[in-house]
Amino acid sequence: MPQIRMTVNGKEVSGEVEGRTLLVQFLRDHLGLTGTHVGCDTTQCGACTVHVNGRAMKSCTLLAAHADGADVTTIEGLADGDTLHPMQEAFREHHALQCGFCTPGMVMSAIGLVKDNPKMSEKDVRHGLEGNICRCTGYHNIVEAILDAQTKMGA
């Protein structure tokens, strides 16, 4: 059984996992970080998106053992105390969430998009969200929130 250590939301964590344990299972079941969700089994929906070494990845398609030594950020690690990350704040302000299930992955993915291209057009944002499915919002307010957060993150 692989022994793994990684940094999750700034904290050193370690544990023993099975070879088949996915990163999302390690986060949810071992660390109790249940904000990272599983919405499908075909690497399509993006609800499980986290950042691994600064890059957005789908934690349902990543072995926990492979993330050994990595620096992982989940939705729980974004806010600074009671102060939300600008992306979280923009989602709230623009009513970019309804049931909230896709939201953590959507926010993590959106931050990754802004990081790669801080000057996205609406079209860029829509294309960039190709790997995240939301069934409630119709995306309209999500796109608005990301464009707004992009401005604020750049400021």
Partner 1 sequence: MYDFNYQRASSLDDAKSKFSGADDARYMAGGMTLLPVLKQRLDQPSDVVDLGFLDDLKGISEDGGNLVIKAMSVHHAVNTSDTVKSKIPALAHLAGTIGDPMVRNRGTIGGSLANNDPAASYPSAVLALNATVHTDSRTIAADDFFTGMFDTALNEGELITSVSFPIPEKAGYCHFPNPASRYPIVGVFVAKTADGPRVAVTGAGACVFRVPEMEQALASNWSADAVANVKCSADGLNEDIHASPEYRAHLITVMAKRAIEAAG
Partner 2 sequence: MASQFGIGQPVRRSEDKRFLTGRGTYVDDINLPRQTHAVVVYSPHAHADIKSIDTSAAKSAPGVLLVLTGEDAQADGLGGYGQALMPEDVGGPPGFRTTRPVLATGRVRHVGERVALVIAETEEQARDAAELIEIDYAPLPATVLAEDAVKDGAPLVWDGAENNLCFPLMMGDADATEKAIASAHYVAKVHIYNNRLTTNPMEMRGTIGDYNRAMDEYTLYTSTQNPHGVRAEVAGHILHMHETKLRVIARDVGGGFGLKGGVFPEDALVVWAAGKLERPVKWVPSRSEAMILDDDGRDQTLDAEMAVDKDGKILAMRWIALNNLGAYVVGPGAVVPMFALGMSQGVYKIPTMLVATKAVFTNTPPTTPYRGAGRPEATYTIERLMDAAARGIGMDPAEIRKRNFIQPSEFPFETHTHQIYDSGDYATALDKCLELSDYKNFAKRRAESEKAGKKRGLGLSYYIDNTGIFNDRMELRFDPSGSLTIVAGTFSHGQGHETTYKQIASDLLGVPFEDIKLVQGDTAAVSFGRGTYASRSAHVGGSALKAAAEAVIESGKKFAGMMLEAGESDLEFVDGLYKVTGTDKAIPMTEVAKFAYIPAGPPSELGTGLEGVGNFATTMSSFPNGAHVCEVEIDPDTGKVVIDRFFAVDDMGNIINPLLVAGQIHGGIVQGVGQALLEDMVYDRESGQLLSGSFLDYAMPRADDVPSFQIGMSEVPSPSNPLGVKGAGEGGTVGATPTVINAIVDALESAGVTNMELPATPERVWRALSKAA
Bridge partners (DSSP) of residue 73 are 51
* Residues at the interface with partner 2 (CB under 8 A): 20, 28-29, 33-42, 44-45, 47, 74-76, 78-79, 84, 88, 91-93, 95, 97-104, 107, 122-123, 125-127, 129-130, 132-144
Q: How far is the CB of 69 from partner 2 (least distance, A)?
A: 23
Structure tokens at 127: 């294309």
Residue 149 touching partner 1 (CB under 8 A): no
Q: Considering beta carbons, is residue 100 or 154 the nearer one to partner 2? A: 100
Can you tell me the distance from the alpha carbon of 103 to that of 146, in angstroms, rounded to the nearest whole number? 12
Helix (H/G/I), strand (E/B), else coil: 21: coil
Q: What residues from 4 to 43 belong to the interface with partner 1 (CB under 8 A)?
A: 18-20, 22, 41-43
Structure tokens at 55: 């890059």
| CA dihedral angle for residue 55, residue 50, residue 112, residue 94, rounded to 10 degrees | -170
Nearest to 12 by CA among 71, 78, 80: 71
Q: How far is the CB of 73 from partner 2 (least distance, A)?
A: 11
Residues that bind partner 1 (CB under 8 A): 2, 18-20, 22, 41-44, 46, 49, 55-58, 60-63, 65-66, 68, 109, 112-113, 116, 128, 130-132
